[in-house]
């Protein structure tokens, strides 16, 4: 099975920044890559993934039944952004390649994505608007297909209560076949060492009117290992025109590197009252700011105290997400922050649970 060599090199040799996470996953299920043409099937899955503002993956499936086809997918990309006043401006860049084989022929292709965006926070609500382009090419047997699409989205997300956050997304995809609006909602619930997620959406209009829905559960076992299960009902995407299908997966993942850098779905409960955030001076000797749910993600300068930066404030009971910003505008979490989670935008945020002071 052949695959685009350039994309494979990009995915495997991209130099990762410090503090991001490599994971190895094994399991069973179906392909969740819509650009890979396959029917509902069962496959043994193996994957290596890298998570962070710079990301990459290599995933492969081996047939477990006669309906399945062996496939491989590889990709890499980066979220580039800068903070300008109360806005963060940047772009999502991604490159993907895939290959698969049916009893009759082989298929292979690639996907390129470039989506500029602008984001801000209104109180505890995060808003992001993006608009860019995607290009897809695929060759199956002697047939070639290639399509381009403009893709515009508006995303809103916010914490609802302790351990619960929700989001909504509106999307408009335009191809040579016309325009396709899409709307979806999702919710994440953290319960102890488990993270439960669910989503539902619908393509609107006459040409494409199909529902999309799914759910997943992840349970942390120790500091490096997690077990997961997922189910998704997929609809055709107007860029790929993949078939309607059910995708499911179960498996286990193991994080490589330092266990302290793992994403946490829970954090130690801290008594209510004054809370002090601390950052080693070595992270930036000039200036460090802190931002989070507690101040509408508006960076507040921290004070230098000895060999660290510190900021103290009083917080009511609840779950808070936060991050730090250097003087040059880059966001980061120091290695001392062991409780962290995916921020939903390609990076990470720290997790702080404040309990009752009683």
**Whole-number pLDDT of residue 220:** 78
Per-residue pLDDT reduced to its tens digit, 290-338: 988 787 787 888 888 888 888 887 777 667 889 999 888 888 888 778 7
Which residues, in sequence order, are CB contacts of 14 under 8 Å at separation 6+? 50, 54, 56, 76
Domains observed in the chain: 5-261 (2.40.160.40), 269-354 (2.60.40.10)
Q: What integer pLDDT is reported at residue 58 of this predicted model?
A: 93
pLDDT means over runs of 10, the chain (358 residues): 38 38 84 66 85 81 80 90 76 93 86 93 78 94 91 87 81 93 89 84 82 90 84 89 84 71 40 74 87 82 86 75 88 81 70 64
pLDDT of residue 26: 94
pLDDT of residue 7: 38
Q: What's the mean per-residue pLDDT of the chain?
A: 79
Q: What is the pLDDT of residue 123?
A: 60
Q: What is the pLDDT of residue 307?
A: 84
pLDDT of residue 150: 97
């Amino acid at each position: 099975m052949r695959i685009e060599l350039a994309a494979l090199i990009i995915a495997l040799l991209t130099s990762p920044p410090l503090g991001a996470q490599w994971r190895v996953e094994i399991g069973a299920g179906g392909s969740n890559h819509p650009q890979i043409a396959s029917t509902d099937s069962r496959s043994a899955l193996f994957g290596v993934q890298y998570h962070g503002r710079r990301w990459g993956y290599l995933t492969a499936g081996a047939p477990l039944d006669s309906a399945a086809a062996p496939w491989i997918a590889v990709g890499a990309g980066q979220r580039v952004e800068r903070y300008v006043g109360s806005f963060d401006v940047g772009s999502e860049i991604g490159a993907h390649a895939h290959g698969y084989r049916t009893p009759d022929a082989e298929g292979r292709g690639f996907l390129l994505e470039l989506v500029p965006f602008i984001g801000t926070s209104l109180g505890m609500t995060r808003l992001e608007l993006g608009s860019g382009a995607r290009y897809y090419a695929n060759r199956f047997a002697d047939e070639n297909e290639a399509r381009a699409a403009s893709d515009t989205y508006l995303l809103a997300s916010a914490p609802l209560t302790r351990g619960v956050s929700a989001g909504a997304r509106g999307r408009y995809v335009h191809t040579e076949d016309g325009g396709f609006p899409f709307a979806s909602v999702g919710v994440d619930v953290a319960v102890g060492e488990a993270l439960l997620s669910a989503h539902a959406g619908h393509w609107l209009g006459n040409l494409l009117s199909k529902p999309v829905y799914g759910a997943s559960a992840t349970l942390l076992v120790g500091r490096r290992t997690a077990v997961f299960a997922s189910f998704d009902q997929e609809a055709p995407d107007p860029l790929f025109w993949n078939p309607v299908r059910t995708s499911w997966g179960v498996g286990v993942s193991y994080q490589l590197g330092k266990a302290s850098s793992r994403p946490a779905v829970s954090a130690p409960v801290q008594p209510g009252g004054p809370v002090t955030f601390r950052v080693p001076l070595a992270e930036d000797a000039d200036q460090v700011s802190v931002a989070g749910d507690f101040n509408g993600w508006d960076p507040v300068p921290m004070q230098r105290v000895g060999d660290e930066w510190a900021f103290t404030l009083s917080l009511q009971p609840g779950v808070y997400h936060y991050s730090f910003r250097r003087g040059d505008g880059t966001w980061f979490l120091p290695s001392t922050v062991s409780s962290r989670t995916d921020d939903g935008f390609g990076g990470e945020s720290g997790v702080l649970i404040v309990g009752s002071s009683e």
